Every structure is written in structure tokens, then in C-alpha cells.
Structure 1
Amino acid sequence: MNDFDHKLAALMTRLAGPGEVAGLARLSGGANMESWSFDWAGGGFVLRRAPSAKYMADRPFGHETEAALVRTARAGGVMAPEVVGVLEEGDGLGTGYVMRRIMGEVAPAKILADPPPTLLADMGRELARIHALPASALPDAIPVMDYGDALAALKAQFESYGGDRPIIALAIRWCEAHRPAPVDPVLVHGDYRMGNMMVGPEGLRAVLDWELAHRGDRHEDLAFGCMTVWRFGMLDRPALGLGSLDDYFAAYEAAGGAPVDRDRFHYWLVYRTLWWALGCLQMGQMWRSGADRTVERVVIGRRTAEQELDLLALLENDAPDAEKMQPLPPSLSPSGSPAGEPTNGEILSAVRDWLDQSIKRDAEGHAKFEVVVAMNALGIVMRDLDAAVRAEDRALADDLLSGARSLAEPGLLGRLRRAALDKCAVDSPKYAALARARAQWARAQWER
């Protein structure tokens, strides 16, 4: 028994009595936390943890509060997991808590390929239940989101990362100009989307991952799961990748949710897309700082291009119609065919093929996931070696952030469209919205 197994066994003895750890496996995915599935004394459990308290230092609340919130939600009728116990310092496992395991599917691609007929209504109903939890029942440490402070924090974060991405600057400026009036706060799950739902053939089984919860505008929850990135390629199903917004909102309202304000919904769709664009950049900063040196961090750091593409699609209606119909500027020409000794790109390609054909084949579980991430990282570098496009333009970003320039400027929308397309083609060529944007923006010029 290794050190981790020994500590886990001691923890479970404290929480659930005598037994033995069996079937221990790290679950794939999870951008922020580790999740470990295992059996103990005939029951199935999941340990959710951060390996050290340092990792939790910049979070508004810790795992003890998160566990208390999950318990509150479950007691209030929400389909939340059953928390068995919380880690203590003496357990030597970092911070976290143990839940009873719920069996089901969490992979969005598998769920969305053939979703249960009730799933969209289930998710509308559960969100209404979350928003109805009384404030008096919530842990005191759950923060209230201040709209102005949150947006200012995003702006400061952008500046700290160089302040040189024009589309992000455009989105910040838009959010500043369109910030809605405050409302009475409700509990906001904060990460309510496919990928954080446990699903069975009959429908929804559990709402997972409560670490981003706060008190705020319920429209934030409604919008977040409807972001393009969280629809996992189901672009014709704007509500969570499952169906129509009308049906989603109707299910939410039928379960007791207040009527949905479409303008507020759109604001939060833009805001949370901006938030995730900066969140992706933050992943790269975590790697640089040494807080998390996994390959996954740097790969997610390059997914900012996806969000920039989506932000421009959300914001371009502010441009004059004539600008929206202008032809796309051409991409810069790629380099010529290689000759002579193997190029850097060819060497990377050889390593990537080796990972695919030799290492990935024999890997299992989280190890297989890590191999796929490493292959993706090599693919990004291979494409970037031949690309002439750069996302950074500090002068343009400054002008857009200050309002000195806007999408009314002749030719600017086309320039931003081309930059977004070419950058996303390097970083995320399989992103479904890339093909859609390329087709829509190319078609616009023929419809003039």
C-alpha cells in the first residue's frame, strides 16, 4: 500500500468505520480539482480534493464551506451528492471532502449524442431549485457578487496579462457600457453546464462541482451553460447543447424560477465568455508560476482563441450593417514546403505520432487523458510554427478599451474576424464554432 492509499484508508476509517480501499482510480478531466473514485466496505465513494492548501489560497471559500453548501443544497431538494465527510489537516491529503459515488455519465459528448428526453426540463427544474434555496440556509462564507467589482477585477486581470488582446478589450468595454442594474441576489451555482452533470437514461442524476458558487444574478447561471464552448459542438441547440432557449426558460419558470429577462441573459452570456477567456489565460499563468506544471494548464491557456471567436460573434451586431457585409481580408501565406534536414515541425510530428501509436494505446484512465493532452499541445506548436498570425496588439486593445475606436470603424470588424479565425485555427482547429464562423463570415460578402 503506497502513502496515498494508506492515508485514504485512515481517512475512511475515521469517516465510515473499518474497511479496505479497492478500485482506486483517478477520474479523467477536472480543470481545477482532483477526483478519485474508490470502494470502501461495500460502498462506492469519490474523494474531491486539492493536493495542498496553497492551491486554494486565492479562492473565496474552502472545501469545508463547499461541502456545507452541497449538504444544504441536497437538504433543500436539489439533486446534489451526499457528503460523507471533510478532510482535516491531520489526514495529510490536502483539502477536500468525500461523497458517496453516484453512477452515471458525465462526458458531454456521450450525453449530447443521445440525451434523455427529459434532460433539458430536468436542468431547468434543478436550476430553479438552486435559486430558490433560502439565503438563511446558506453558509456565511458564500460571497455576494458585486457587479462593478467583478468587472473591474476582470479588467485588472486583463491588464496583468499584458492587456494586448483586442477582442477581449472590446468585450470589457461592452460589459462596462451595458452592465445591468443590481438585483436581489440568489444562490448561483457558478458552473452550471454539461460536464458538471451526472446523467442516466432516465435523466439528470446529480449536479456536481459547486466550487464557484456565490450569491448573484440568476441569469448568470442560465447563461453560463449556454455558452458556445459548453454546448460541445451542438451549435443548433443553444440551451446547454440540448434544445431551444424557449424550452429551457419555460422549464425553469414552470419549476418556480422567475421570468427570464432576455437582455440580462445576453449580458451574462457575453460576461461569462469574457470571464472564461481570461480564465484560460490564467491557466498559463498558473503553469508559469509553478502552481500547476501539468501540460493541461498550458493547453487550456491556448483555448482563449475559442472565446475570442465567440465574443466577436456575440458583439459584432454593434457594427454597421455595411461592415458586417464586407469581405474577409486574406490570411497571410504559410511558409513553403520543407526540404533538407527535418524541420522542427516534422520532429514534433514524429513525437506526436509516437505518442499516438505507442503510448496512448497502452495507457488507461487519467494517464490516457494526459497523453491526449500532450498530443494536443504538440499539435498547437506544430501549427504555430507555420503561422504568421498573432493575437497580441496592445495599441489596438488600448484604443478599444478606452472607446477611442469601435466596430464602426471601416475595416476593423473584418480585421478582427480574420485574426479570430486564424488564431483559433492554430489553437483549436476542431472547435465547432470555427467552421460555423468561417462559413458565416465568408457568406456575408456574397449576400451584399
Structure 2
Amino acid sequence: MSDFAERLAAAMRRFAGQGELSALSRLSGGANMESWAFEWRSAAGSAPYVLRRAPSAAYMEDRPFGHRDEAALVIAARLGGVKAPEVIGVLDDTDGLGTGYIMRRVMAEVAPAKILADPPPTLLADLGRELARIHALPLADIPAAIPRMDTADALAALKARFLGYGGDRPVIALAIRWCEDHLPTPADPVLVHGDYRMGNVMVDADGLAAVLDWELAHLGDAHEDLAFGCMTVWRFGQLDRPALGLGSLEDYFAAYESAGGEPVDRERFRFWLIYRTLWWALGCLQMGEAWRSGADTTVERVVVGRRTAEQELDLVRLLEAEAPDTERARALPQSPLAARVPAGEPTNGEMVRAVRDWIESAIKPQSSGHAKFEAVVAMNALGIVLRDLDAGVRAEDKALADELLAGTATLARPGLLAELRRAVLDKCAVDSPKYAALAAARAEWGG
């Protein structure tokens, strides 16, 4: 047994009494935290568990609350009737496992593609009801460490991060300025899950089985939670189903309201849909910074860092309604992308393709679990490089970004919307060519 497994077994004995650990494996995915599944056999029988952890306390230093408070929140949510996992124990320094907590494993489906391919008929209503339950949790029951979000302050922090990353992405600048101009009045605070979307819920044949990943929870506007799961990226290709990739917004809102949620304000919902798309665009850039700084050197970080292009495409699609009809009807400028036929010695692109093909044929088939996930991520990274080598497409334009941020350039400027559309189409074609919204935008814009 590895040292890691021995330490985990010792922690389990402290939480659950005598027993033996087996079938330890790291679950794939998880952009920020590690999840480890295992079986624990005791006199009462064998049962599945999950360890959610960060490798060290230093990894949690920039977070508003740690795993002990996160676990307390999950416990409070479960006691309040929310389908949250059952926490059985929280790690401490003597366990030698970093920071984290152990839960009973919920045996249900979590993969969005599998869920959305054939969702249970009650799932959209289940999710609306469950979100209303989360928002109804008494604030007195929420751990004191859970922060309260001030929307104006949070937007200012996003703007500061954008400027810190160079301040040179025009679409992000446009979105920041729009949010500044449409900042809603403060709402009565509720517990906001903060990451309520497909990928963070578990589903079985009866419907919703569990709500996972509470690390972004805070007190704030209920509409933030309602909007987040409806972002294009979290609908996983189901573009005709705007509510979590499952159905209509009206049905989702009706389920939420009938379960006790406050009436949904459509304009406030739109603000949060744009804000959180902006937030995730900057979150992707932050992933790249985390890799560059050495804080997280996994290949997954650099790949997610290139997903900013998806969010910029979505922001243009969300904000183009602000442009005059004449600008929305304007034809796109010609794309600089052009196919080149190589000749002579192998090009850099051909060498990258050879390595990618080798991973696909020789490494991926022999891998399993998280190692297989990492092989796929590595293939994606090389695919981006392959497409980018000769494309000559860049998203940076500091002068235009400054104008948009200052409000001296708007979507009423002749040709600007067409220019932004062309730019996001070409960048997304390099970074995320399979992104469902890319094909939809091409069809809508004639690109």
C-alpha cells in the first residue's frame, strides 16, 4: 500500500472505526481540487467514499474559506434538506494528506454529455426546486467564514484582474464596460452555491441525486446562481435548451418560483448571465497565469487557459443586441486564415501532429482513470498548437480595448461589431473548434 493510501486509511479509522481501504483511484476532471474514490470495508460491510482535497494548505491560501468551513457548509445544506453529500470527517494536519474532507460516495452519473443525452423527465424541475432550497437556507446556519459578495466590488476586482493580465482583449473590455453601465441595485442576500451547473450535479434514473462542489459559495444575489448554469459553455452543446441544457428558461423559472424562490427578474438574470460569462473568461486567463507562475504546472491549466476564446465568442453573441440594426446586418470582413499545403522536410505542424497521433495510438489506450484524462488533455493542447502555428490569429488589441473600456468606442461604431465577430470566430476556430456555439455563430453571422 502506498504512503498516501496508508495515511488515508489511518484518517478513515479515526472517522469510521476499524476497517480496510481498497480500490483507491483518482477521479478524472476537477479543475481546482482533487477527488479520490475508494472502498472502506468494516465489520458492517463495504461502502464507497470520496476524499476531496487540496495537496497542501498553501494551495488554499488565496481562497476566502478553507475545507473545514466548506465541509461545515455542506453539512448545513444537507441538514436543511438540500441533496448535498454526507460528510463523515475533515482532515487535519496530523493526517498528512493536505486539506480536505471525506464524504460518502453518491453512486450516480455526473458526466454532462451522458446526462443531457437522455435526462430524467423531472430533472429541470428538480434543479429549480433544489436551487430554491439552497437560497432558502437560513443565513444563521451558514458558517461565518462564507463571504458576502458586493457586486460593484466584485466587478471592480474583475476589471483590476483584466488590467493585470494586460488589459488588451477588446471583447472582455466591452463586457466590463457593459456591466459597469448596467450594474443592478443590491439584492437581499441568500446563500449562493456559486457553481450550480451541469458537471456539478449527480443524476440517477429518478432525477437529481446530489449537488457537489461548494467551494465558490457566498452570500449574494439569487439570480447569479440562476444564470450561471444557463451560460452557453455549461449547456454542453444543447444550444436550443437555454436552461442548463435541459429546457426552457420559463420552465426553469417556474420550477424555482413554485418551490419558494423569489420571482425572477429577467433583466437582472441577463446581467448575471453576462457577468458570469465575463468572470469565466477571466477565470480561463487566470488558469494560464497559474501555470506560468508555477503554482500549477499541469497541462490541463494551459489548455483551460485557451478556452477564453469560447467566452469571448459568447460575450459577443450576448452583447450584439446592443448594436444598431445596420451593424448587426453588416457582412464580416475576410478571414486571414488560409490552408497551406506543406512540402519538403516535415514542418513544425507535422511534427506536432506526429506526437499527438502517437499519444492517441500508443499512450491513451494503455491509460486509465486520471492518466487517461491527462492523455486526452495533452492531445487537446497539441491540437491547439497545431492549428495556431500558421494561423497568425491574435486576440490582443490594447488600443481598441482601452477605447471600449472608456466607452469612447461602442457597438454603434460602423464596422466594429463585424470586426469583433470576425476576431472571435477565428480565435475560437483555433482554440476550440468543436465548441457548439462556434458553428451556431458562423451560421448566424455568415462566417
TM-score, with structure 2 as normaliser: 0.98
Corresponding residue of 1:446: none
Corresponding residue of 1:31: 31
> C-alpha deviations, 1:153-201, integer Å up to 9, x for none?
0000001111000000000000000000001100000000000001001
1:232 to 236, 244, 253: 236
2-structure distance, mates of 1:162, 1:54: 26
> C-alpha deviations, 1:298-343, integer Å up to 9, x for none?
0000000000000000001111100000001110142631111100
For 1:382-397, list aligned pairs within 5 A.
382-397=386-401
Offset, 1:143: 0.5
1:89 to 78, 83, 93: 93
1:216 to 214, 217, 220: 220
2-structure distance, mates of 1:259, 1:403: 33
Q: Which moved more, 1:314-323 or 1:329-338?
A: 329-338
Specify the code of the residue in structure 2 equivalent to 1:98: I
Contact 2:175 2:274 in 1 (8 A): yes
Matched, 1:14 2:14: yes
- For 1:68, what is the secondary structure of its paired residue? helix
- For 1:93, what is the secondary structure of its paired residue? coil
2-structure distance, mates of 1:278, 1:166: 13
Contact 1:194 1:230 in 2 (8 A): yes
Matched, 1:54 2:58: yes
1-structure distance, mates of 2:355, 2:348: 11
> C-alpha deviations, 1:369-413, integer Å up to 9, x for none?
000000000000000002122100000000000011111000000
- For 1:259, what is the secondary structure of its paired residue? coil
Corresponding residue of 1:268: 272
Corresponding residue of 2:188: 184
1:319 to 320, 323, 344: 323
2:361 to 340, 345, 357: 357
Matched, 1:375 2:379: yes
Corresponding residue of 2:109: 105
Q: Which moved more, 1:99-108 or 1:385-394?
A: 385-394
Corresponding residue of 2:297: 293
> C-alpha deviations, 1:68-114, integer Å up to 9, x for none?
00000000000000000101011110000000011000000000000
1-structure distance, mates of 2:296, 2:21: 28
How many residue pairs get aligned? The number is 443
Specify the code of the residue in structure 1 equivalent to 2:183: R
2-structure distance, mates of 1:102, 1:332: 49
For 1:49-448, list aligned pairs within 5 A.
49-334=53-338, 336-442=340-446
Contact 1:230 1:241 in 2 (8 A): yes
Unaligned runs of 5+ in 1: 444-448
Contact 1:67 1:97 in 2 (8 A): yes
2-structure distance, mates of 1:143, 1:344: 49
- For 1:46, what is the secondary structure of its paired residue? strand
> C-alpha deviations, 1:21-63, integer Å up to 9, x for none?
1111111100000000001121110000000111111100000
> C-alpha deviations, 1:186-227, integer Å up to 9, x for none?
000000000000100110000000000000000000000000
- For 1:377, what is the secondary structure of its paired residue? helix
- For 1:405, what is the secondary structure of its paired residue? coil
Specify the code of the residue in structure 2 equivalent to 1:133: L
2-structure distance, mates of 1:17, 1:116: 38
2-structure distance, mates of 1:145, 1:2: 42
Contact 2:337 2:426 in 1 (8 A): no
Contact 1:334 1:388 in 2 (8 A): no
> C-alpha deviations, 1:331-375, integer Å up to 9, x for none?
014263111110000000000000011111111111110000000
Specify the code of the residue in structure 1 equivalent to 2:250: D
TM-score, with structure 1 as normaliser: 0.98
1-structure distance, mates of 2:230, 2:47: 35
